[in-house]
Chain A
Amino acid sequence: MSVVDERVDASGRGAAFASPEPGEALTIVEPLVFDHSRPGRRAVRFPVASDAARAAGKGEPALPASVQRQEAPRLPEVSELELLRHFTRLSQLNIAIETAFYPLGSCTMKYNPKVNEWAARLTGFTDSHPLDPDELAQGSLELQWLLAELLREISGFAAVSLQPAAGAHGELTGMLMTRAFHRSNGEGEQRTKVLVPDSSHGTNPATATMVGYSVVTIPSNERGGIDLGALRAALGSDTAALMITNPSTLGIFEDQIDQVVAAVREAGAIAYMDGANLNAILGRFRPGEAGFDVMHFNLHKTFSTPHGGGGPGAGPVGVSERLAPFLPRPLPVLREGDADAVRANAWAGRETPGARFGLDWDRPQSIGKVRSMFGNFGMHLRAYAYIRANGGDGLRGVSDDAVLAANYLRVRLADAFDLPYDRVCKHEVVFSGRRQKRQHGVTTLDMAKAILDHGIHPPTIYFPLIVEEALMIEPTETESLETLDRFVDVMHDIARRAADEPEALRAAPVTTPVGRLDEAGAARRPDLRHRFGPDPVPESTEGG
């Protein structure tokens, strides 16, 4: 292996790449896009203004010299083919759902249907300007109204806003509504605490802080559920909300959820359900019906929109009657026409003559806007296509198969790894690698890296925090039994190698484009952008 980063000189210009050694061409290493750049090379070109246009613009003010850029930004200069080759080669360095099994717990890495992508590229959607007059945007508005109706029915809530752009953004929306609700009751000053279980996603406490709440952590009980006694002891007239994930991040359904919700409401607090794990309970449990006040949906989890390497997501929120006045504005509404008829027609794929949709801004108690325009519409339409493809029966089947697959892995792997909470799970199962760590000095991180060498994306590791050496596996409903069985074989092989050849696991991965990277060094000496040769001006220093 030649030393890769010496292949280009510091300027990135004019250096010849070293010839790969025999066999090395198969190991893809892709230079930065800046290293492909050559002055004057072009991909996409644009027209110049016509003479007529220039003549017509005479008399209009020109850009003052004082505001003009002196030096052009050093963007790459490449041909179209070089561009495509660069990004194609980069893409090949990724594992993705379409290349490999991706059982990343809590992320619901299910198949992202192609018909959704087809729909998202229809010019009727892509060229729809969000500020077009309502008359020109009836399709977008109808779609948002219909999706909100479907999510309402799926979750049992009174109303839904599609505006939040991701799950954590939905949490922020939910907590802002919580605050607005308590303020409207004259309890804004008094209710200052948000309770979160110790198994919660980090976004829950971070969100509570963003809204100005203090966070109280509630322990889990020995069965992996929230400790009801501790919850009741913590609840009081200073409690603003409980944020609880159900099923929990342990993949366990809170089997006292009815008592949890009752206790929260009795204390005058808001019951927030983190909907990250909704894929487990479609058709089995509707949070709104069970008394929750608010929940965010992750459309990129339950409803199959692609994760995109870290977004875009979409995090609609559903709310109870008492929180509905506080939803972000505007809401898509049916202005003219009968709602039952519009739904029935749409479910039959038909237009409703005379139906007219609009946006309701007249919501005086609304928390306002959490995002510009109306949210990640391109994700909304994909989720809509997914829900329509599945229908009600199909959605229930989605959860059935997701839970079936997770329990199958739970049972099949129970001999190889410790199972701290040995009970029926929902869509994901959390093992512990503590046995391998204690007996063989092999950590969960080592095992995750060894999984990479089998061409499989590892499960989520070291989360939830309450499980030592956690391995959180979420197979989803779209993986075949053969894939699950192969994963079981791989995991058994890794457990065996942890005992027989621990050194090899500690050296994994060996087949990936790079080995384990120095993350501590990356944080100590941040290199967060490409340098075009020596900088003329020294960079500001931290704290400066």
Chain B
Amino acid sequence: MAYTPHTDPDRAAMLAAIGVAGIDDLFDDVPPAVRAAAWDLPAPMVEQEVRAELRRLANRNRIPDVSFLGYGAYRHLVPSVVSEVVGRAEFSTAYTPYQPEVSQGTLQSIYEFQSLICELTGMEVATASHYDGATATAEAALMACRLTRRERVAVSNAVHPEVRRVLATYCSGPGIEVVEVPADLAAGGTGQTDPAAAAAVLDDSFACLIAQQPNAFGVLEPMAELGQAAHAAGAQLVAVVEPTSLAVLEPPGSYGADIVTAEGQPLGIPMSFGGPWVGLMAARMGAVRQMPGRLVGATRDAAGRKGYVLTLQAREQHIRREKAASNICTNQALCALAATAYLTAVGPAGLREVAELSMAQARHAAGALRRAGLAERRFTAPYVAEVAVTVPDAERRHAVLAAEGVVAGAPLWRDYPELTDTLLLAATELTSDTDIERLVAALEASR
């Protein structure tokens, strides 16, 4: 009972007030047939022991000296001020703002988050957050089905495999069919999703087309044309985006996206072996009543003071029960706060610096490997901050380098068997020139 304050006299006083002889009397209602057998759990630990055990496990991880691994999770700077903000217990130890008068801090910060995501994406409304980018995308597909009253979903296979896996799981329940649109993965191919291929798949039975910008290989997609293909079939365009790239790339609102989703991890959230991260979702106001998840709106009190509340709750499970737009309840509020603090900390200039340095270092790495004769770019289309390269004998060399503390990107053949010997290298603003020199040297040595 590491954290309970009660002394034995306290307990005795409470038992006496209740009028029972002992604590077991309060568990008489558990039927004898199903009372718990003795369990086999470890002994308690004091703080220094807990620390030692957690440090043991943290130290068992080997954080690579140099890593070009991205592919859905990115090592960016988490500014000190961001950690400070999310570390404030007034934010972290509050719950869902059901009592707005004493939750204005949480509510206003969510309103600011929604505003920032709208501004970044060029959309009109953003939710308070989702579990991650993959579940946000799956929920966007279900939302598109509700909006169009259709039950098929098209997705480019250049959308990240993790997103497509979660999409398939979410769609399996209500029996929504997911059809993949093949990207051009051929040797010497663009790495893009061909709008004609999308148009060939889409017809008036499809609720949406899901495409990713930049796609899973870091390649720029022809989003406007893909959107036209979707809209020609009366389907929605769901754009999956990477938030830091929106400092330099046109916002999805301007190429006709109907719903935008993203993994918000790059916005000041540590990778932490996969979570907690934050899913972003934005859409047009016309669709707001079919959006899943929480929304915060501005309003006033009786004295005319501005304040913020959870709103449009008639979409939500605690009001609508089986008729709700989604079952989502707890989401990722503290991670959304991290993203809010991050976007505030970096501002428009800082976000652009992050995007530009990431792009420059990706080109630096690709150019250096090409000139050293170590790797060739796999796809012809322009890329952003991740580049797919072909390296002979990649599987063996990737393992050799990993053992030396150099992670040479993501082995794409595991998810795309046709992409033999293809590694996806990611750069961020934390990728240094010496990191790239080390990668080149290590690949050279592994020949």
Contacts and interface: CB of A to CB of B under 8 A. Distances in A.
Given A367-B172, A457-B99, A512-B101, A528 B162 contact: no
Interface size class of B (residues with CB under 8 A): 35 or more
A248 B63 CA distance: 45
A112 B93 contact: yes
A211 to B, nearest CB: 4
B30 to A, nearest CB: 5
Contacts of A542: 285-286, 288-289
Interface stretch (A81-89, A230-238, A317-325): A81-89
B347 A381 contact: no
Interface in A86-100: 86-88, 90-99
Contacts of B103: 93-95, 309
A306 B92 contact: yes
A436 B371 CA distance: 81
A154 interface: yes
A312 B327 contact: no
Interface stretch (B32-40, B193-201, B203-211, B227-235): B32-40
Given A91-B105, A122-B55, A517-B100, 13 more contacts: A43-B346, A48-B356, A75-B120, A78-B344, A124-B61, A129-B73, A129-B75, A202-B317, A215-B322, A291-B34, A308-B337, A452-B99, A522-B298
Q: Give me the 9 closest cross-chain CB pairs, A-B, nearest first.
A: A373-B274, A124-B58, A392-B41, A57-B363, A308-B334, A139-B60, A391-B44, A312-B276, A130-B274
Contacts of B134: 369, 371-372
Interface string A383-405: 01101111111110110110111
A408 B18 contact: yes
A32 B109 CA distance: 9
A315 to B, nearest CB: 8
Contacts of B433: 50, 52-53
A229 interface: no
Main secondary structure of the interface of A (DSSP, over half): loop
Nearest to A508: B101
B134 to A, nearest CB: 4
Contacts of A539: 124, 285
Interface in B4-53: 4-6, 10-11, 13-15, 17-20, 23, 25-31, 33-37, 39-47, 49-53
Interface in B317-331: 317-324, 326-331
A524 to B, nearest CB: 10
Contact of A376 (B35, B275, B312): B275
A289 B36 CA distance: 7
Contacts of B11: 401, 404
Contacts of B387: 60
Interface in B134-159: 134-135, 142
B30 A48 contact: no
A153 B28 contact: no
Given A73-B120, A481-B13, A58 B341 contact: no
Interface residues of A, number: 225
Contact of A140 (B95, B170, B273): B273
A407 B13 CA distance: 12
A97 B399 CA distance: 47
Contacts of A541: 285-286
Contacts of B429: 46-47
Interface string A118-129: 111111111111
B372 to A, nearest CB: 10
A327 to B, nearest CB: 12
A66 B360 CA distance: 19
Contacts of B345: 43-44, 80, 83
Contact of B54 (A57, A119, A215): A119
Contacts of A48: 353, 356-357
Contacts of A124: 55, 57-61, 63
Interface string B295-319: 1111111111111110111101111
A131 B297 contact: no
Given A75-B346, A289-B37, A377 B19 contact: no
Contacts of B299: 517-519, 521-522, 527
Given A122-B54, A206-B320, A368-B165, A42 B349 contact: yes
